[in-house]
Amino acid sequence: MHTVPVNNRSRERHHSMLTLYFSPKSRASRMLALVHEMDLQDRVRLEHVTIPRVDGTGQPDSTNPHPDHKVPALLDGDTLITESLAIALYLTDMFPEAGLGPVVGASLRGPYLTWLGYYAGVIEPVYNAHVAGVGDHPVFRATFRGVPEVEARLIDTFADGRPYLLGDTLSAADLLVQSPFMSFPDGAPDDAKVKAWIDRVAARPSYAWVDEVEAAYEPD
């Protein structure tokens, strides 16, 4: 019999080359950090693309497979994965041995998914609405709550002295949730333990590597 067991097919996928489309100093930077934290530099090809920047420089890149020409985007063979949450979960599930995301059945799986979802589903809209000046609209507040609630959740989480969101070890959720505060320190909660966490994540060797990788590209 020459039927290919289903497991072999999934293992083949596991060994295919992954391509991460990125642009310096963007929402892709934390995905570069994740690649380094997971020691996937040999498995993930980095592909630089340009994006329009808020200062008016840069332009959409026709080589970027993201339907909105945004970054990050991940290609696994011909499968496209977009959205930072999805890319982080895709990678941490695909390479569980890297230890950057609790697997199905692990006690921290629930908190891990909760933080990923809270980042994409609440933190992003809340801070963008805040900056846009529309975060106090009653419909918005009813759906997402606001900056005070996000700050309270972070302050409560770190009150017990834990170094990372899930406890003793860094996960991909830290890279996502920390990133807006690293980019905009003035928006960080005024709390010593939360600020120490923001600095702790920023000081990881993975971010020194991200700086090196990104420095090779002219601002676009």
Ligand X SMILES: N[C@@H](CCC(=O)N[C@@H](CS)C(=O)NCC(=O)O)C(=O)O
Interface with ligand X (CB under 6 A), residue total 11
Note whether 150 and 122 are within 8 A (CB): yes
**Ordered alpha helix ranges (H), 119-204:** 124-132, 138-144, 147-158, 172-183, 192-202
Among 33, 35, 71, 166, binds ligand X (CB under 6 A): 71
Looking at the Cβ atoms of 102 and 180, the one nearer to ligand X is 180
Stretch that binds ligand X, among 2-10, 70-78, 104-112, 156-164 (CB under 6 A): 70-78
**Facing residues of 75 across strands?**
19, 80
**Encoded tokens for 177:** 């949730």
Among 37, 44, 70, 157, binds ligand X (CB under 6 A): 70
* 52 contributes a contact to ligand X by CB under 6 A: yes
34 DSSP assignment: H
State whether residue 1 is helix, strand or coil: coil
Residues 72-131 touching ligand X, rule: CB under 6 A, are 72, 83-84
In DSSP notation, 168-188 reads SS--HHHHHHHHHHHH-GGGS
Q: How far is the CB of 20 from ligand X (least distance, A)?
A: 12
Residues that bind ligand X (CB under 6 A): 26-27, 51-52, 60, 69-72, 83-84
